[in-house]
Amino acid sequence: MPVYAYDPPERFVAGTVGEPGQRAFYLQATGNSRVTSVAVEKGQVSQLAERLDELLDEVLRRTGGSAAVPAVAPEALTDDGPLDQPLMEDFRVGAIALAWDGDSERVIIEAQELSDEPIEPLTEELPEDGPAILRVTITAAASK
């Protein structure tokens, strides 16, 4: 089982390929001359954005605003650029998990390959024959 780890990535985006109604959706991480692209459903992208927003709001609430989390995403961090090409699908995502690492004040996003035998999300002990994983660690207030 491959684990594609980016800590931190140079770029982490959601993007599409194709015309409306025929689009394929991807999460893509890049760093150190590597590119990992995983296929996701449109609903998964929407839920990821929603859950990420909820997670950061909860971090702000629990820390009383002391965590390095902006109330609104800085405009300078907007990345509307196309996915890196050539686009090679590494796997299709089944489950996505999010976590907040309070020690480093970073978000961990894990996309797990669609599998009949998924593993516990965000675990450090990964079975050799388990599904592929894309694990991305990002700051909530990164700068470009």
For residue 52, pLDDT over 50 is answered with yes
* pLDDT given for residue 141 in this prediction: 63
* pLDDT given for residue 28 in this prediction: 98
Query: Where do the structural domains in the chain lie, given as residue ranges?
Result: 3-139
For residue 13, pLDDT over 80 is answered with yes
Mean pLDDT throughout 60-67?
Answer: 83
The gap from C-alpha 125 to its chain's centroid, in whole angstroms, comes to 20
Task: Encode pLDDT of 107-143 as tens digits.
Answer: 999 999 999 988 888 888 888 888 999 999 998 764 4
Mean pLDDT throughout 63-74?
Answer: 78
* pLDDT given for residue 70 in this prediction: 77
Tracing tokens 């686009």 back to the chain, one arrives at: 87
CATH of domain 3-139: 3.30.2450
The highest-confidence range among 37-41, 56-60, 62-66, 123-127, by mean pLDDT, is: 37-41
Mean pLDDT throughout 47-65?
Answer: 91
Q: Write the CA distances from 106 to 51, 59, 68, 100, integer angstroms.
A: 15, 11, 9, 6
pTM of the model: 0.90
The gap from C-alpha 24 to its chain's centroid, in whole angstroms, comes to 17
Name residues whose C-beta falls within 8 Å of residue 31's C-beta, 6 or more positions apart in sequence: 6, 8, 9, 10, 11
* pLDDT given for residue 144 in this prediction: 38
Task: Encode pLDDT of 27-41 as tens digits.
Answer: 999 999 999 999 999
Percent of the chain with pLDDT over 70: 97
